[in-house]
Structure 1
Amino acid sequence: MMKYTNLMFLFLNSMLVAQAQNKAPLENTVVITSEEQKIRVYTRDNEELHVNVSPKDVLKFKAAGTVRYSDFGAKGDGKADDIDVIAATHAFANLHRLSVKADDGATYYIGGKERRAVIRTDTDFGAAAFIIDDTEVKNRNASVFTVSSGLKPFKLETIASLKRNQKKINVSLPGPCLITVTDSNVKQYIRFGLNQNNGSSKTDIFVADKNGKVDMKAPIIWDFEQITDITALPIDEHLLKITGGHFTTIANKDESKYAYYNRNIAIRRSHVLVEGLQHHIKGEGDHGAPYGGFINIGECAYVTVKNTILTGHRTYSTIGAAGKPVTMGTYDLSVNRALNISFVNCSQTNDINDNKYWGILGSNFCKNLLYDGCTLSRFDAHQGVANATIRNSTLGHMGINAIGSGLLTIENSTVRGRSFVNLRPDYGSTWQGELVIRNCIFVPANGKPISASLISGSYSGQHNFGYMCYMPERITIENLRIDDSGHPDNYHGPAIFANFNPEMTDNTYQEKFPYVKTREVMLRNVTTASNKALRISDNQVMFKDVKVKIN
């Protein structure tokens, strides 16, 4: 009887996994039986994974409240491929709500076969090592670990439109839900430049409580006159913890083109803490395909990555959409369609100022991103972020790149990029909101000779990005030290704004798609190593109406 009970639980469990993503199932089928035999993990000809655990062992594990990979036969010798056992251990733990513990001192080798280990319970990787070998991978899009929810999404058929900053949606929910809305008839983020494209469908993501009240800390940021899809996913209320682990990726040697590898830890569940993890990279040569983030966070909320050490990936080039060579973005951290995501006391193994390595973070469609106490090569909001905070941190050669809305705050931090904040030109150099810089140090280009500007970007006014583009309405800069001692000979002092449009030399220039300029800049205690005064810009015409107030 126990055999059939377990199988029924597993079937329901697997169905919830598949539906929660509204995509392909997250895991190969794991068939769990409980026959009077020893623990055994094996596969059938169709690669279906089976695990048998005797009734006696089931009771033993449930009494202990935890299972180990070694309990299910993991070798941990760094040679035998342990991914089937790892996946089976988590499947059993998920079924019986047990935590999972790796064996300290073990080295788990994970080869290129397609097998996802689905994590739904607390997992302690401890002092164990994991080798992820990407030299021969069957499916580069298959995550090694997926942190998932067993909760089931559902459509909100009665909602036909939404308004920016709407406080409530007219629906009753089973509890707090993550709401994802799309209008596929409207395209935004129509990218300009060497990686040009036709844009993405208008989309938004927010949290609403059981009464439909929207969390205004992560507000609705677009008007939706029509909706082609709107889905609610109930949010897991208890915190799931993933701790420890020393992971090493043996890098792929594929052709250098946009064929991203996602052999990673994919977090698709809300309320998750990742703490004490390390990720290293070996075997990068003179070519390779890019990576989509070893820690890849998406379609979730309230995730914290803490006390974690990461590694920047080697930068490779390819031919972009415009038919010209481009360097490919490749990431160790990736965040997409996610809210309230924090990186706390995180760092990387390689030099944050070494431009052989791409910036470590890429993000799209996010709200409330935080760096606190981090030493990383880059912060990046690609297709927009609503509200972002960087504090007590050091940013390396790729600095701070952002487009989006709300409040962008940088405080008690050091930035060593070419500018203090780069408003990404490929998406319209837009920030609809405010920028606050407080108690910071700016070392332009890490001390190389450069004409420094605090805020860089580019906007011709001739390209339709799918939305109106803005500069920060108000910029407040307090207690900023600019170390421009390594400036070039013809240096006239740091500028607040770079020359966003060199073609705009007089008032006759016409912007087909007007740019809303900054209204005012508040300055207090801004000092320079060169002793040269802070200027507004090399482009006096473009920024002539900006009011600069010095307190």
Structure 2
Amino acid sequence: MKNFPLLTCICLLCLALTARAENPLRDISIAYGREHTRVIAKKNGQMLVQVTGDDLRKIKVKGSVSYKDFGAKGDGKADDIEAIVAAHAFANEQNLPVKIKGEPTFYIGRKALTAVVRTDTDFGKASFIIDDTDVEDRTVSVFLVSSDHKPFKIENVHSLKRNQEKIAVSLPSSCLVTVTNSKVKHYIRYGLNQDNGSDQTDIFVVDKNGQVDMNAPIIWDFEQITEMMALPIDEKKLKISGGRFTTIANQAESKYNYYSRNIAISRSNVLVDGLQHRVIGEGEHGSPYGGFLNIRDCSYVTVQNTVLTGHKTYQTIGRAGKPVSMGSYDITANRALNVSFLHCSQTNDIDDRTYWGILGSNYCKNMLYDHCVFSRFDAHKGVANATVRNSTLGHMGINAIGSGTFVVEKCTIRGRSVINLRADYGSTWQGEFIIRDCVFIPQGGKPAQASLISGYYTGQHDFGYTCYMPEKITIENLYINDANHPDDYEGPAIFTNFNPEMKEATYVEEFPYVRTKEVLLRNVKSASGKALRLSDNPLMFKGVKVIEE
């Protein structure tokens, strides 16, 4: 490409402008007015992007940036990651969208580089091959959707109360606030993947006057705060659309070495629309994945019209010294609020048990599935308020612990129960379940003992918090398709046997379980014609009031 005439670009030629993009692996500099537009990756880990004045003018006239502007081949063979990183760095500085036309195929190889995305990006019909068979660093994201704002510490708040409506701060704008108390441990995991717990953590939105958004309230009492961080929320929505991504799966040893060659989203107010992700090349062994869409430390994120893929399940030896199946995810959400999945599905059979459940989450609030067909909904370290509606859930069903209200509405559930309360975190839900207008097909139609709410709690393990069952459960217009059942089937139960060891009233829970107070039933029917029972362990649930209307 030719340069501007000297008089029209002399200011650019004289400009010693250096732009630094936030990138975990590269210090990127952009220099204008050079002889050729090119990307130079230096041995010291820096990247220099040179842009001629003529190319700058043409890109601005075009109104968008493409990867080929920075030398990407798009032939599916040459590694284009350096051009992709450079294009986004330039787009961020010039505040221009990235738009890919045609149907190129961009190959992304072993290099540990991340493209930081801060402007609207339309991948269009472009394909991306992410080759994980030999990588420099498995933990490095391919794309990071990042905020223009920087997080900052809040120093003058020393304690918090559950459901506190206001904190004594003055902020530049609405912020996402994360609070930690390293002196208290929660989620002290039980079972084959046992651990010593995690620091007490909460995350919520506060306006500039310190008013807490009570749609995602503070859920813990903090007697002490060891760290409190705030990240201003971007007001403008950033849109990521299109793109056909294929991961060539790693062939690593089957250990808990998670791969994160993904699209990470750590900016609030983001829409992902029309993306596709597939996985090929899975063999007899491999390391698990931490989510192709990794949503973290943000709020107001919507993923819609998107197709994802479940990962093959591999086994390893867990912390208890016994074989365990490793969780491997195509979606993860961590410390994220108001995350919605609309009209999404997965490429593989949601009842195929050789593939792990597609979602894993921690420390989230207000999560939504609407018109989704997925193998699983899962909340590990707690979700506050969740809704699954107009959706079909496969072999792993709905697994959760947390608080607030969990609504399951107009869904088909094909797991072992309608809702499973995760035993490894105390089978706890401090709040309410509402199940209405649903069809429950136990174990996807295989012979099974049907129970609506499942979990396991012996009362002998300290999880770091009091464990609850939902205070109230409302089940309305539920059809239980239990036609295919074992010979000894006595009919569907509201609760599974949470504690087979509790056989007598003298059983003592060292850490008492707060049980459900009331179950309200309206129009619950079964294909077997058998009546709904309380539980195989009526002793444990003798204090539960069941009301049939």
TM-score (norm 1): 0.97
Return 366-375 or 59-68, whichever deviates more. Answer: 59-68
Q: CA RMSD in A?
A: 1.0
* 8 Å contact kept, 1:412–1:438: yes
| Contact 2:441–2:482 (CA under 8 A) maintained in structure 1 | yes
Structure 2 gap ranges (5+)? 1-10
Whether contact under 8 Å (1:180, 1:230) holds in the other structure is: yes
CA distance in 2, matches of 1:515, 1:204: 23
Q: Return the alpha-carbon distance in structure 1 between the equivalents of residues 70 and 165 of structure 2.
A: 50
Q: Which amino acid aligns with 2:201?
A: T
The one-letter code sitting in structure 2 at the alignment partner of 1:70 is K
Residue 206 (structure 2) aligns with? 208
**For residue 155 of structure 1, what is the aligned residue in structure 2?**
153
* Residue of structure 1 equivalent to 2:29: 31
What is the identity, as a one-letter code, of the residue corresponding to 1:434? E
Match of 1:21 in 2: none
Other-structure match for 1:103: 101
Which residues in structure 2 correspond to 1:388-403 (within 5 Å)?
388-403=386-401
1:320-399 alignment, distance < 5 Å: 320-399=318-397
Cα contact 2:264–2:293 (8 A) shared by 1: yes
Tell me how far apart the structure 1 counterparts of residues 81 and 254 of structure 2 sit (CA, whole Å): 27
> What whole-Å deviation, never above 9, does each CA across 1:274-312 have from its counterpart, x for those lacking one?
000000001000100000000000000000000000000
1:54-73 matches, within 5 Å, as 54-73=52-71
1:35 Cα offset (Å): 2.0
SS in 1 for 2:171: coil
Q: Matched residue of 1:92: which SS?
A: helix
What count of residue pairs does the alignment treat as equivalent?
539
> C-alpha distance in 1, partners of 2:227/2:13?
40
Aligned twin of 2:276: 278
**Letter of the 2:458 counterpart:** S
- What's the offset of the Cα at 1:150? 1.6
The 1:133/1:156 distance shift into structure 2, 3 A limit, reads: same
Cα gap change, 1:6/1:236 in structure 2, threshold over 3 Å: closer, same or farther?
Answer: farther
Q: 1:172-251 counterparts in 2 under 5 A?
A: 172-251=170-249
C-alpha separation in 1, matches of 2:117 and 2:13: 22
**Alpha-carbon distance in 2 for matches of 1:47, 1:78:** 25
* Equivalent position to 2:487, from 486, 489, 493: 489
Q: CA separation of 1:531/1:3 partners in 2, compared to 1, >3 Å: closer, same or farther?
A: farther
Report the secondary structure of 1:337's partner residue: strand
**4+ runs deviating over 6 angstroms:** none
Letter matched to residue 7 of structure 1: L
Q: Distance in 1 between matches of 2:333 and 2:15?
A: 38
Indicate conservation of the 8 Å contact 1:83/1:111, yes or no: yes
Q: Deviations over 1:432-464 (max 9, x none)?
A: 000000100000000111110000000000000
* Deviations, residues 134-181 of structure 1 (Å, cap 9, x unaligned): 000100000000000120111110000000000001010000000000
Report the equivalent of 1:468.
466
| 1:337-392, Cα deviation, whole Å (9 max, x unpaired) | 00000000000000000000000000000000000000000000000000000000
Any idea what SS the aligned residue of 2:418 has?
Answer: strand
Displacement of 1:132: 0.1
1:501-546 Cα offsets, whole Å, 9 max, x none, are 0111121000000000000000000000000000000101000010
CA distance in 2, matches of 1:167, 1:386: 16
Q: Which moved more, 1:312-321 or 1:37-46?
A: 37-46
8 Å Cα contact 1:26/1:118 also seen in 2: no
TM score, norm. by length of structure 2: 0.97
Q: 1:6 to 1:429 in 2, by over 3 A?
A: farther
Deviation at 1:71, TM superposition (A): 1.4
The answer to whether the 8 Å contact 2:436/2:477 transfers is: yes
Q: 3-state DSSP class of the match of 2:88?
A: helix
**Which of 7, 17, 21 is the aligned partner of 1:7?**
17
User: Which residue pairs with 1:429 in the alignment?
Assistant: 427
Any idea what SS the aligned residue of 1:7 has? coil
Return closer, same or farther for 1:6/1:196 CA change in 2, 3 Å cut-off.
farther
Give the fraction of aligned pairs with identical amino acids, expressed as a percent: 65
Counterpart amino acid of 2:264? A
Q: Which residue of 2 aligns with 1:448?
A: 446
State how far apart, in whole Å, the 2-side matches of 1:7 and 1:316 are.
50
1:104: how far off?
A: 2.0
Amino acid at match of 1:44: K
Looking at structure 1, the residues matched to 462 and 14 of structure 2 have their Cα atoms a distance apart, in angstroms, of: 59
What is the rounded CA distance, in whole Å, between the counterparts of 1:62 and 1:225 in structure 2?
A: 54
Residue pair 1:3, 1:33 contacting (<8 A) in 2 also: no
Instruction: Show the counterpart of 2:4.
Output: none
Q: 3-state DSSP class of the match of 2:456?
A: coil
Name the SS for the 1:56 alignment partner: helix
Where 1:216 maps in the other structure, the secondary structure is coil
Deviation at 1:51, TM superposition (A): 1.3
SS for the counterpart of 2:65 is strand
- How many Å apart are 1:262 and its aligned residue? 0.2
2:508 matched residue in structure 1: 510
Cα deviation code 1:322-345 (max 9, x no counterpart): 000000000000000000000000
Within 5 Å, which residues of 2 pair with 1:123-162? Answer: 123-162=121-160
Q: Distance in 1 between matches of 2:405 and 2:108?
A: 42
Q: CA deviation at 1:26?
A: 3.0
* Aligned CA distance change for structure 1 residues 4 and 45 (closer, same or farther; 3 Å): farther
- Return 79-88 or 146-155, whichever deviates more: 146-155
Matches within 5 A, 1:71-82: 71-82=69-80
C-alpha distance in structure 2 between counterparts of 1:26 and 1:103, whole Å: 28
C-alpha contact (below 8 Å) 2:111/2:135 kept by paired residues: yes
Aligned counterpart in structure 2 of residue 417 of structure 1, from 387, 396, 415? 415
Q: 1:290 to 1:383 in 2, by over 3 A?
A: same
Partners in 2 of 1:349 and 1:152 — Cα distance? Answer: 37
Matched residue, 2:165: 167
Amino acid at match of 2:496: A
Given that 1:6 and 1:32 are in contact with CA atoms closer than 8 Å, whether structure 2 keeps it comes out as no
CA contact (8 A) 2:91 2:98 kept: yes
SS of the residue 1:66 aligns to: coil
- Helix, strand or coil for the counterpart of 1:58? helix
For the residues of structure 2 that align with 1:403 and 1:192, how far apart are their CA atoms?
Answer: 14
1:6, distance to aligned residue in structure 2 (A): 6.4
Amino acid aligned to 1:74: A
Q: Secondary structure at the match of 2:91?
A: helix
Q: What is the CA–CA distance in structure 1 between the aligned matches of 2:15 and 2:163, rounded to whole Å?
A: 48
Give the whole-Å Cα distance in 2 for the aligned partners of 1:395 and 1:314: 18
Report the CA distance between 1:70 and its aligned residue.
1.2
Question: Do the aligned residues in 2 keep the contact of 1:399 with 1:417 (CA within 8 Å)?
Answer: yes
* 1:4 Cα deviation after fit: 7.3
* AA aligned opposite 1:199: G
Superposition deviation, residue 28 in structure 1: 1.0
Name the CA distance, whole Å, in 2 between partners of 1:503 and 1:493: 22
| Contact 2:398/2:419 (8 A) holds in 1 | yes
